[in-house]
Amino acid sequence: MLSYENKLILAPMVRIGTLPMRLLALRYGADLVYTEELIDWKFLRSKRKYNDTLNTIDYVDQTDGTIVFRTCDKEKEKVILQLGTCNAERALKVAKLVENDVAAIDINMGCPKEFSIKGGMGVALLAQPEKAHNILTTLVENLSIPVSCKIRILETPEDTLKVVEKLVSSGIKAIAIHGRTRDERPQHAVHPDVIKYVAERISIPVIANGGSKEIEKHHHIQAFKEMTGCTSVMLARAAEWNCSIFRKEGLLPMDTVIKEYLKLAVDYDNSPSNTKYCVQNILRDLQETPRGRKFLDCQTLEQICDIWELGEYCHEKQSKYQKMGIQGRWQVCPHELEPPQKRIKMVETDLVGVIQMKVCFIRANFNDRNMPKAKLHGWAGKNGHNLPVYETQQVEKLFRTILTFNDKKYTSTFWEKNKKFSEQGAALVCMFHIGLVTEEELIKFGSIIK
């Protein structure tokens, strides 16, 4: 059974706590790692799949094929899934789905963001202790793995303790306490005295959180432990800025951390947008440097890696994965979604005689004056041709466009996540076949992977 005593922990952080960052935190010395908050209804529309290319367990959204949660054996005994929920029944359904893939379940009762509060989740649950208690009790009584929750402090130590005692009575194994109130933000001072007041009065481990402003180096963690009276500490921003904060030996240079993170992002086929977001939070003010601005222009994983001299590593890995038949965003089509869509047969028959090519449109590689559709239309008008005609098909949240030009039809077999992008992708296919764009340019754009 998982122990929460004397642990150094990566806190749950939206868009940061994905698999590459969790693995990096464990490599640097974290004892436990939390996922980012994952919302119950999004999990419930996903399907569990084993990814034999990456050796991961993937929970795949069945409306658009995106990854809701990815994990692997390297973290199985140390990863805690944090769930955003306001409903005990939904929470239990999700928990039973992942019960054999994670070490524990945590319920988010501390997020102060409007999205969570409006949905009755996060810190909103602290205003409904009976409901919060019911969610936790339902999980505790029906799961074989530990259950915990993460909260924020209330206006007084006494009010905080009263709610905590109610939550602890559900049978949870630990509670993480962020030392700020619902309305306080990182610029406000943390209240370690309130955390200590609670920790001295309850019987389960309390995990202290909210001290990143005071924690700049590893040895500062001990001081925060003493201030809060806790043996376990959870780090968010300090880890987000430099994950090597977990190293007893001291911080590593920023570029070293970025390179190690990028290798993990490539190895586990992390999405370019999520990878870019994580690197942005490491660079912080350095985004305004010449290298930082070049980084901000990147859209593909290979473009990002190239800045840190890992472009070839990324290209070789991605090519290898493609040849192995990886099932990722590039392979998403209605066939891969379940239950099978009724419109699939109609979509299949529409491709008879259509020139097909797998091309992805990446918006950041084009400005408003050189968009594929605009270039194709300009060329057609200049050379006396009728303008292309676009017909877009939608299945669930996926889009594909068939472009008709000079009595020929063109489409990309890559299903985009919006109509405009699918039209631009079809235009790129047409441009390639009439000689307006080369394969080398498409590779450079990240529009095709070779």
Q: Which residues are tagged catalytic?
A: 111
Cα four-point dihedral sign 299, 300, 301, 304: negative
3-state secondary structure the chain: CCCCCCCEEECCCCCCCCHHHHHHHHHHCCCEEECCCEEHHHHHCEEEEEECCCCEEEEEECCCCCEEEEECHHHCCCEEEEEECCCHHHHHHHHHHHCCCCCEEEEEECCCCHHHHHCCCHHHHHHCHHHHHHHHHHHHHHCCCCEEEEEECCCCHHHHHHHHHHHHCCCCCEEEEECCCCCCCCCCCCCHHHHHHHHCCCCCCEEEECCCCCCCCCCHHHHHHHHHCCCEEEECHHHHHCHHHHCCCCCCCHHHHHHHHHHHHHHCCCCHHHHHHHHHHHHHHHHHCHHHHHHHCCCCHHHHHHHCCCHHHHHHHHHHHHHCCCCCHHHCCHHHCCCCCCCHHHHHHCCCCCEEECCCCCHHHCCCCCCHHHHHHHHHHHCCCCCCEEEEEEECCEEEEEEEECCEEEEECCCECCHHHHHHHHHHHHHHHCCCCCHHHHHHHCCCCC
428 contacts 437 by C-beta, under 8 angstroms:
yes
**What CA–CA distances, in Å, run from 5 to 35, 154, 203, 215?**
19, 24, 12, 20
